[in-house]
Amino acid sequence: MSTTVFRIGGDLEVRRLGFGAMHLPTDPGPGPDRENALAVARRAVELGVTLIDTAYMYGWGANEELLAEALHPYPDGVHVTTKVGIARAVPSGEWMQDGRPAALREQVEQALRRLRVERIELLQLHRLDPKTPLADQIGTLRDLRAEGKIGRIGLSEVTVGELAAAREIVDIASVQNRYNLLDRGHEPVLAACEAAGIAFLPWATVAWGRSGATAEVAAVAAEAGATPTQVALAWLLGRSPVVLPIPGTSRIAHLEENLAAEGLTLTGAQRLRLDRLSGGGSALPGEQA
């Protein structure tokens, strides 16, 4: 079985199988949905999750506030990584990239306040902004790191070339790209991360549930006495030691199912059958991470 921990940036030790908070409802009002969301976040930590992924875009800060309500003061070793660089367009309300230095600084300051921390151990740029020079975007995060407001810098949805260009400006500790058993379009980026020891956080880890509809995945799951979701996650964990899956859910039963995938060992023959699968589809409408 592959190791269950990874040191992001060489020193921030986390459990490789994390939790993506994107699907937790962020309605600020009290009620059963919010209580359930709080319970899911707390259960993740109870089960040993140490890396929780969120973003300003998830509820425009409400997801960060939810996690702080559920978990603050954070147990030792638990880290919430968040993402900045996305803003709401006015008046449409649609999202857009915003990597202007002032905007990034403001989003980081607000994230610190919402998460109730003085330093964000891993801060990721949600999307590169084509309207802002890369040096200004990455340079701003570098400056914030020097000021002690963030510990490590990551990127999301980048190419090999963009990753290389960013690394000329500052050390990059993580990359968060869409990648799963059926969608391996970012294989070259994963290879670059593995070569450099950079954490690779795949999102859409189970292909939005489509893995279970694939006959080969279903067959392997039946052989292994596991669910298709667990097979998809076990495949990711075995794919490379730098892969840190962050499956998301709003249900405790699914959370427990996901985390149990860490104990599933696929045989070499099963992995070979799964390796032959490939999707490569684009994101579904409304799916962003």
Calculated CA dihedral for residues 66, 57, 54, 256, nearest 10 degrees: 80
Calculated CA dihedral for residues 90, 22, 198, 164, nearest 10 degrees: -20
Q: Which helix (H) or strand (E) holds 81?
A: strand 79-84
Residues present in the chain in total: 289
For residues 248 and 23, the answer to whether their CB atoms sit within 8 Å is: yes
Rounded distance between C-alpha atoms, residue 73 and residue 117, angstroms: 9
**Active-site residues: which are they?**
58
Going 156 to 133 to 137 to 97, the CA torsion angle's sign is negative
User: Residue 86: beta bridge partners?
Assistant: 97
Measured CA to CA, the distance from residue 104 to residue 77 in angstroms comes to 26
* φ, ψ dihedrals at 53, nearest 5°: -105, 130
One-letter identity of residue 156? S
